[in-house]
């Protein structure tokens, strides 16, 4: 069983020490692993398995239940009503976990499904139960796959996006590193397709990021964008967890410690 301290990481993780991070949360969005991009699950699992193989404890926060279920409900775009979202999530979550486990079988790694609502992490009793379950799974070398429990969540008590969920999970389990994946290789001063956009390599803790224009999701299947990722990065960094924002295609390099993406330095302990 894992015996991690019940507080923020003792020392703040530095960028050049990423390869030695002991506990890592990786978040992947719907657009990266569903539809035409469902083939990205295998290389994502390759990267997670490599980190797991060197002894790191890995948690994957994966969106995609609704997007995965949509074709089976003959839906061409993400539903807007709650009941249909719940139905799509119910179908899609099962298929999504199967696809991950099918890929993880190549490495003899077992996944554990963890579905949470915002209320679970706001209620002290439920939060404690979630922490104990996650800690035990990691101690048993299981790879938890976390998603919002869309089937029972309501509009009023949703996380809003899985970037925020990932930040809260990283805080819950006192992760050393949170890796937020998207279809963009790093954070830019404005949408990267716009003229004058400049890549941001490093964000110090507490930086107000004045002059940075943040945009929402444009994928049509997800709910997050640069704005939600920065907000999530601030939550995790304030709790002492370092954050790396990069693209799903660069996840292997990110977990190896290569200088990719945008680094959000954590608050000092």
Binding site, annotated residues for ATP: 27, 182-183
DSSP state of 11: S
The token pair that represents 186 in the structure block: 């790093």
The distance from CA 144 to its chain's CA centroid, rounded to whole angstroms, is 12
**Nearest CA among 58, 36, 38 for reference residue 47:** 58
The token pair that represents 169 in the structure block: 């999970």
**Nearest CA among 41, 159, 7 for reference residue 111:** 41
Query: Burial of 77 by CB count in 10 Å (0-12 exposed, 13-18 middle, 19+ buried)?
Result: exposed
Feature table: binding site for substrate: 63, 150, 162
The token pair that represents 3 in the structure block: 């015996």
242-247 sheet: strands from edge to edge: 111-116, 143-148, 57-62, 23-28, 177-182, 242-247, 262-264, 202-203
Is 226:214 a contact under the CB 8 Å cutoff?
yes
Feature table: binding site: 27, 63, 150, 162, 182-183
Which residue, chain included where needed, has tokens 């050393």? 176
d(CA 82, CA 151): 9
């Amino acid at each position: 069983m894992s015996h991690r301290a019940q507080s923020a990481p003792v020392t703040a993780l530095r960028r050049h020490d990423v390869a030695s991070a002991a506990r890592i949360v990786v978040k992947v969005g719907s657009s990266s692993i569903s539809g035409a991009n469902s083939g990205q699950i295998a290389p994502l699992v390759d990267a997670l398995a490599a980190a797991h193989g060197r002894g790191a404890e890995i948690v994957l926060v994966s969106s995609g239940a609704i997007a995965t279920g949509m074709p089976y409900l003959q839906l061409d775009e993400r539903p807007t009503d709650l009941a249909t979202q719940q139905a799509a999530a119910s179908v899609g979550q099962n298929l999504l976990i199967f696809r991950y486990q099918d890929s993880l079988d190549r490495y003899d790694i077992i996944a554990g499904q963890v579905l949470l609502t915002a209320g679970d992490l706001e209620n002290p009793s439920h939060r404690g139960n979630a922490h104990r379950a996650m800690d035990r799974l990691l101690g048993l070398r299981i790879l938890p796959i976390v998603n919002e429990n869309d089937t029972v969540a309501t509009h009023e008590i949703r996380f809003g996006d899985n970037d925020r969920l990932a930040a809260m999970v990283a805080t819950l389990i006192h992760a050393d590193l949170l890796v937020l994946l998207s279809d963009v290789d790093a954070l830019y001063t404005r949408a990267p397709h716009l003229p004058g956009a400049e890549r941001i390599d490093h964000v110090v803790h507490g930086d107000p990021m004045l002059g940075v224009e943040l945009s929402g999701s444009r994928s049509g299947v997800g709910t997050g964008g640069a704005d939600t990722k920065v907000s999530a990065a601030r939550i995790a960094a304030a709790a002492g967890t370092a954050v790396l924002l990069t693209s799903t295609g660069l996840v292997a390099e990110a977990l190896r410690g290569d200088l990719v993406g945008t680094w959000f330095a954590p608050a000092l302990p």
